[in-house]
Structure formats: structure tokens, C-alpha cells
Amino acid sequence: MSIFLLNDQNIFPPPNLAEESGLLAVGGDLKPERLLAGYRLGIFPWFSKGDPLLWWFTSPRLVLFPDEFRIPKRLQRYRKKTSIAITRDKNFAQVIKACADIRRQAGEETWIVEEMQEAYLNLHQMGYAHSIECRIDGVLAGGLYGVALDKVFFGESMFSYVSNCSKFALIELVSYLKSMEYRLIDCQMTTDILLSFGAREITGEEFQKQLQSHIQNITPNGNWNNDIKNKE
């Protein structure tokens, strides 16, 4: 299949035309309108520094249905012994930067380059992108961020400076999404950690059907920030 070259219009080719690797298109920009148009179809940007802007639709797709979420028993026991303060949308910029920095510190390439950080910070300020933060004694210890459209949350990245803190952020995320009646979490890439929480793969075709069913509008849902939630 051909890789499509995007123009100035915020229009993407049909996701089912993506290559087996998931690569669908190249070019365009990271303006909010284009990002939102992509996410609505399950298409996301992913590229390294020095690369052209690449757009992907992977199949099969790892997803997590909030009602199928489960917390591993060992983590439940550990959670009871740990005192962590958890917040939502308290410091999005710090979280996305940490997601990039922790990969660089490990000697890995990161797709969360400066232009990506700026683009998602814009989405956050518009009420579309959100973060969960875990702090120990006031210091950021882990977290995650992603994009919310209607009843779907598209997870982007998570990090831990302290063991298991990204998992605690995930637990808080799912708890909040369930309370707000979200129906689907897009995990993008399959990992053993996410599988252990109940995530599973579905076909790209089924993923498209889920998005069509659960994204009826793309009105921003504002800031998720509230009082600090202390784990007991």
C-alpha cells in the first residue's frame, strides 16, 4: 500500500489503508484541528527527532474497556503500604516533559520531541489533553497523559521515577474515567504491563466501530484538576 502525503487540509486517508506496520501518512502539521481529526479516526503522530511527521493507525489495537480493568493482587497489596498524593491536570507540562526525559536518560529515542510537547500542551490548554500526577512528599514520582474525546481516552505515555507510580496513575485514570462514564481507553501499543491490567487486542476494524460509537462530538471537557486525592 502507498504512504499518503498530507496537504494543508485536515483530512486523512481511510485508516484501513495503512501499511502492515501501521504507517499511514506523512507530512501535515501538529495543529490542534489536525490532531483532533486524526484521533477521531484512531490515527496518531509518532516520529523521532529529524524524521518527517509520520501518522499511524495500528492493527490489531490494544484497548482497555474500563469495566474490564483489574488490578494485579501484588500491586493491590503494595498500594496499601504506600502513601502517594494523586492529582489530575495539576501540571501537564511537567508530566509530558518527564515522559520524554525518562526515555532520554535511559539512552532511548523519544517521539515526545519539543514540537510534540508544545502541540499537546496546546491541546491541554484547550481542554482536550489531560494528565495524572503521582507525588511523594510533594515531588513528582510518576504519571501519564493522553487525549480525551467524548467517551474515549487515548493514552499517550506514562513514566515512573519511583517503582509502580505509573501504575498508580493508571488506576486513578481508570477510576476517574469510569466515574465519568467513559467507554474505551486506547492503549496503542501492546505491553505486558497493560495486558496484566485487563487490556486486550481488537482488530483495527472493531476499533473503528468503537470510535464511531463512542465519539459523537469533540467538545473539550475542560480541566480535570481537583483537590489532591491521598491514597489511604
With cut-offs at 50, 70 and 90, classify the pLDDT of residue 74.
confident
Angle at CA 56, nearest 5°, toward 52 and 57?
170
Round the CA-based radius of gyration of the chain to a whole number and report it: 17
With cut-offs at 50, 70 and 90, classify the pLDDT of residue 156.
very high
Q: Which residues pair with 61 in a beta bridge?
A: 202
With cut-offs at 50, 70 and 90, classify the pLDDT of residue 167.
very high
Contact 160, 142 (CB under 8 A): yes
Q: Domains (ranges, CATH) in the chain?
A: 4-58 (3.30.70.3550), 62-230 (3.40.630.70)
Q: What does the alpha-carbon distance between residue 232 and residue 83 come to, in Å, rounded to a whole number?
A: 7
pTM, two decimal places: 0.94
User: Could you tell me which residue, 103 or 22, shows the higher pLDDT?
Assistant: 22
With cut-offs at 50, 70 and 90, classify the pLDDT of residue 107.
confident
